[in-house]
Amino acid sequence: MNKNKVCGMLLSAIALLAVSAPLLAHHSVTAEFDPNQEWTVTGVLKKVDWINPHTATWVEVKDESTGTAETWGCEGNPPSTYSRAGVHRGDWRVGEVVTLTCIAAKDHSKHWGFLKQIKYHSDGHVLVFRLGGE
């Protein structure tokens, strides 16, 4: 085999590995979240990170015992998954009072989960999501 052919095969193999690496890094929801535990919190929708590989939704919640504001967040499916289902960034209405229902993180992070449902108090509208990969 000549040197050029070996170099070409080696470069092809490296390129294939580089392209497929992100596929190997993806995980199922149940790798980080416990579908048998969930939490629900009501607060003001403050921010939505509409980014890949997962969206993130943030609410500000008033702690009942201290009266101070706490930030709660949850990971969600990728934007493309929501878009294919007919749900778009504008459906997250920042500034409105919402109730989030999320699957709890396995590491017991109090303020982090995976988005299962969002309910808007202004009109009662509810968006329900299934777990990614299930």
pLDDT score at 19: 44
Task: Provide the pLDDT for residue 129.
Answer: 86
Q: What is the tens place of the pLDDT at every residue in 12-64?
A: 445 444 444 444 445 577 778 898 999 999 999 999 999 999 999 999 999 88
Contact 57, 92 (CB under 8 A): yes
Give the span between the Cα atoms of 55 and 77, in whole angstroms: 6
Q: Which pTM was predicted?
A: 0.74
List Cβ<8 Å contacts ≥24 apart for 62-68.
none
Report pLDDT for 3.
Answer: 72
* pLDDT at position 13: 45
Per DSSP, the three-state class of 26 is: coil
Rg of the chain's alpha carbons, rounded to an integer? Answer: 20
Structural domains in the chain, CATH included, are: 29-128 (2.40.50.140)
